[in-house]
Structure 1
Amino acid sequence: MSSFISASPIVQSPPRSAVRLTDVRKTYRSGRTRVTALDHISVTLTPGSFTAIMGPSGCGKSTLLHCAAGLDQPTRGSVWLGETEITALKPKARSVFRRDNVGFVFQAYNLMAALTVEQNVTLPLLLARRRTDRTRLEYVLAAVGLADKRDRRPAELSGGQQQRVAIARALITKPHAVFADEPTGALDSRSARQVLDLLRRATTELGQTVVMVTHDPVAAAHADRVLFLADGRLVGHMDSPTVAAVTNHMTHLGEW
């Protein structure tokens, strides 16, 4: 897979934080019972950082990701993406902001089968009625190693290649942050490594902020920092993680 092009587009100085959650709490009702999914979460992620979120099943990882990305609204607290408090936006405005400023990568690739690679990548621009910057498009396609497959459709690609299309689609709008929910969960080990290397390089070479939920210590070891959740609370973090250190920490949290 080709490396990122060195002559990246000039960007303005980033805001002090790319993602900021302050005293975020999320509760649900289940019958007569109130369930707390997130309990007083406060965290600040700097621009150009790669953060992994880990914890036992049901600890609130995906809920945290969805609240941070504007897919779900916290019960209380504030969420900022760049200089915008998305929790203060009305639903329609939040949806528009999310479309224009947030990138998503999920375990399911969510590609349109009838569209080509290039059309799938530029779909967010089409939906936003924005013109495609051809220089940016060429840049992103080369970055993910799919410049020679732009006219192929998803069925003609491997799972790893489809996930790289999804990453290119997430990067095309120059988002404040890319949120990835188990992005390697459906991939073999070789394809997973390629996708993780791509996300890693997106931060180091593009200055892209990436937030990834994962259950895999190997995936988490690609990040700059790992945040650990348990019972909806942040219970620790690890900088410069290694597979062994993450595995050991997760064992103490009762994951295995």
Structure 2
Amino acid sequence: MPTQDLTTPPTTTTAVALSLRHVTKTYGSGPRPVTALRDVSVEIPTRSFTAVMGPSGSGKSTLLQAAAGLDRPDSGTVVVGGTDISQLRTKALTTFRRDHVGFVFQAYNLLPHLSVEQNVTLPLLLSGDAVDRAWLAHILDAVGLADLTGRMPSELSGGQQQRAAIARALVTRPAAVFADEPTGALDSVTGHQVLELLRQTAKDLDQTVVMVTHDAVAAGYADRVLFLADGELVGAMDAPDARRVAEHMTTMMAGR
């Protein structure tokens, strides 16, 4: 399957979870500013798993940060779950991220003095919201931690800690979950399990997952891969597999 042009959206009957329109982000000033994103426009449907790839310095991390409300674009709009977050004031944006955006990073960021259940429900505690026990039980079962809710992070393997981090990202039923190199600290077998879990999260738990990765194998688990180069979206691939993704990345690197 050839790489698709981004002017043709993926075939879907679902709603849009995330929309970027003409997003530009530049760092620095003076004679040598760096444009990390250049007029980026893309839509990501609900209940999908999207990977973002590109060479070093292509703007992958900046795209994730702008889409998740961690950094403001210089121009353009970012709409998450129907809310234009690029128009929110700082306090409102912080509240929106807490209540409507999930994060999974390479570092698990679990609090060592809290149990699995306490770590997972921490976003609800911070927002003052009640815990939906049925949903909590459902996601803990889905990530394979139903029998480990009382364990402390030090009693878990790396893969189990990342599963707890994924459950924490899901507990608020977010509009989107953003994962930044989520398997970077894991061995290949455990990484495979986490990637399968992220795919299951989109398919079976009706969530939207956007993952930044440099790994073609990891990208092969996604429904779609977006390719960046020099701050611009330059293509997309539906139903990817690791071989085709790797070949495309090699071609991109050769053309730089």
TM range (shorter): over 0.9
User: Are 2:109 and 1:116 equivalent residues in the alignment?
Assistant: no
What is the aligned partner in structure 2 of residue 25 from structure 1? 24
Which one-letter code corresponds to 2:155 in the other structure?
E
What is the aligned partner in structure 2 of residue 223 from structure 1? 222
What is the aligned partner in structure 1 of residue 167 from structure 2? 168
* Identical residues among aligned pairs (%): 62
Shift of 1:83: 1.2
User: Are 2:50 and 1:51 equivalent residues in the alignment?
Assistant: yes
Q: Which segments of 5 or more consecutive residues in structure 2 lack a partner in the other structure?
A: 1-12
Shift of 1:121: 0.1
Counterpart secondary structure, 1:253:
helix
What is the aligned partner in structure 1 of residue 133 from structure 2? 134
Shift of 1:58: 1.0
Counterpart secondary structure, 2:174:
coil
What is the aligned partner in structure 1 of residue 72 from structure 2? 73
Alignment deviations for residues 168-198 of structure 1 (CA, whole Å, 9 cap, x no partner): 0000000000000000000001110110000
Counterpart secondary structure, 1:170:
helix
Shift of 1:34: 1.2
Instruction: Give the TM-score of the pair, scaled to structure 1.
Output: 0.93
Shift of 1:32: 4.4
Distance in 2 (alpha carbons) for counterparts of 1:149 and 1:206? 20
Mapping of 1:77-88 within 5 angstroms?
Answer: 77-88=76-87
Which one-letter code corresponds to 2:199 in the other structure?
R
Instruction: Give the TM-score of the pair, scaled to structure 2.
Output: 0.93
Which one-letter code corresponds to 2:169 in the other structure?
A
Shift of 1:82: 1.4
Aligned length: 243
List, as ranges, runs of 4+ consecutive aligned residues in structure 1 with deviation greater than 2 Å: 30-33
Shift of 1:15: 7.6
Shift of 1:251: 0.3
Counterpart secondary structure, 2:168:
helix
Mapping of 1:82-97 within 5 angstroms?
Answer: 82-97=81-96
Alignment deviations for residues 195-236 of structure 1 (CA, whole Å, 9 cap, x no partner): 000000111111110000001111100000000000000011
Distance in 2 (alpha carbons) for counterparts of 1:16 and 1:177? 12
Shift of 1:90: 0.4
Shift of 1:16: 2.7
What is the aligned partner in structure 2 of residue 189 from structure 1? 188
Which one-letter code corresponds to 2:247 in the other structure?
N
Distance in 2 (alpha carbons) for counterparts of 1:143 and 1:233? 36
Counterpart secondary structure, 1:226:
strand
What's the Cα RMSD here? 1.4
Counterpart secondary structure, 2:234:
strand
Alignment deviations for residues 79-114 of structure 1 (CA, whole Å, 9 cap, x no partner): 000110000100110110110000000000010000
